[in-house]
Each structure stands twice: as structure tokens, then as C-alpha cells.
Amino acid sequence: MAKILNIGSLNLDYVYAVPHFVTAGETLLSGRRDVFPGGKGLNQTVAAARAGAEVLHGGAVGADGDMLLDLLRDAGADVSAVARVDVPTGHAVIQVSPQGENAILILGGANRAVTAETVGIALEKVGPGDILLLQNEINGLDYIIRRAFEKGLRIFFNPAPMDASVKSLPLGLIDTLIVNEGEARALAGDMDALKAACPQQKILLTRGSRGASLWTGSELIFQPAFPVEAVDTTAAGDCFLGYYAAALAENLSYAAALRLAAAAAALSVQRRGAAPSIPIRSEVEAYLRGIK
């Protein structure tokens, strides 16, 4: 079985309940504050670990990042390649109105302080054929992609949150590009244009309740979403990707990996929260056995 290395974001989400969003010059009393683990990197590592993969997380946290490391350990991930840095852990300040709308302010913090040394320590722990997961929430992506490619890793890149910097990255070195429809449009226009722009890459297009499509380079495989009543889709995409990577790490077929990932995502959207919503492998397999 291949290992999975995720060099990805680790965030603390500070969520404040407010009667309305703060306006310029206003001081507003919040009725409640909750602190949750967050970051696409963290969510994807938790998903891959709960799927049963051997997962190593690389990245950085500040002195306030203990709860994130504890969560990763509890999920079964190795956090020995997470550096402690002298800046705050990446975090988000989120205002939530009574109508459920939100306004979000993000500080990259430690996620933007990943060093070449930290990357090197992480890459020493994996080898050719292992999988590297990357998202667009940390610094140094160009360097990481090039070093990982030299080492023979299969690079799975999820360019979220999408911005102009993604187009300057060496995308020709990655194995699989994972995008939603908006990201595909931003990169190339549509799926066909993206395939033409990235002819050597596999492309996994996620479309929420309309399922997912994988272009392998020779065939298009479609996996419909399982019909469920969603209550919170926050981490659905990260859950899907983590499970998909874990399935490929254990040499399942593309079709089987997509089905397992879709089932995991279907369970996650029926639960509230991000990382807490991600199911363990036995739950996903039981769900699939129950489908006629």
C-alpha cells in the first residue's frame, strides 16, 4: 500500500454568532463564540486517515495549534512533519448571522510560513509511487511540486481557493488535478479545454450533488452522487478527495475509488461540521452494503 503525504493547511476557525455583520465604525456584541478545527489540508488528511490509509501530514502551526495536532493524531495521521513556527496558527474569523449567512476573514499565519526545511523533512518520509496531496492554502507550492516530482511522487493538486497564481505553477508535473466546475472555468474555460491544456494529467471534476467525472487520459468515468438529504456540505469535497486518494493508495480501481469517495461524501453531508462530519471506513462500507 502506498503512503499519503499531505502538505496542507491547518486552521483554527473562530465562529462568532452575531445579530448582523459588523459595519464600519460599529462595535457589536456577539452572543457566542465557538472554535473549530479547519483548513482544507486538515480535512483531507482526516478523511484519508479515517479511510484507513497511512497518512503523514506536513505543514506548520503556531503555539496555539495543539488542538489541530490532537485531532490529526486521533484520526490516525502522523504529525511528525508538522513544524512549530513563531507565528500564529492559520485561522479564520467567521461572523454568522441568524439567517445562517457568514462573513469570513482569513489569516494565513503558519500556513504561509512553510519552509524548505519543513518540506524536506516531510519528503524524506515518502518514496516513489507514494501520493502527495496539495491545496492552494500554503506557500511554496512551486518548490514543493518540483521536489515531489523529482522524488517520483504522484501529485494530486486541488487548487482551492482558486486564484491567478495557480496558472503559474508547474501543472505539467502533477498526476491528478482535482477541480470543481468554477475552478475548471477559471483555469481553462470548461472540462474539454482543461483536458487540452493539461494533456498528460488526470482530471477529477467534482460537481456536488451532480456527481464527479474522472478523465484518466484515455477514458471518462462518471460517478453519480448518492441521493441524500444534505444538512451541511462544508467538508464534502475534502472528504471525497481524501477517500479517493486513500482508495488509490491501496490500489483500488478508479471506478471503485470514485464510488467509495462518493459514499463517504454522502455520509458527511448528512452531518454538521467539517472534520467531525467525516466518516470512518467501516461506516462507508456499511452504507455501500445497504445500497440496493
- 140-169 pLDDT, tens digit per residue, is 999 999 999 999 999 999 999 889 999 999
Helix or strand (DSSP H, E) at 47: helix 40-50
Higher-confidence position of 208 and 170: 170
Eight-state DSSP code of residue 280: P
Q: Evaluate if residue 113 carries a pLDDT over 80.
A: yes
The question of whether 70 is a catalytic residue gets the answer: no
CATH of the domain at 234: 3.40.1190.20
CA–chain centroid gap for 202, Å, is 17
3-state percent breakdown (helix, strand, coil) of the chain, nearest 5: 35, 25, 40
Crossing angle of helices 236-249/254-268, nearest 10°?
150
Q: Which range marks the domain in which residue 71 is found?
A: 4-289
Chain mean pLDDT for the chain: 93
Q: Which of these is catalytic: 13, 78, 130, 238?
A: 238
What pLDDT digit, counting tens, does each position of 58-103 carry? 999 999 999 999 999 999 999 999 999 999 999 988 888 888 777 8
CA separation for the pair 141, 170 (Å, rounded): 9
Q: Based on the structure, what is the number of domains in the chain? A: 1
Instruction: Give the pLDDT confidence score for residue 123 in this predicted structure.
Output: 98
Beta-carbon-side half-sphere exposure of residue 246 (alpha carbons within 13 Å): 28
| Residue 239: pLDDT band with limits 50, 70, 90 | very high
Tell me what pLDDT residue 292 has.
Answer: 60
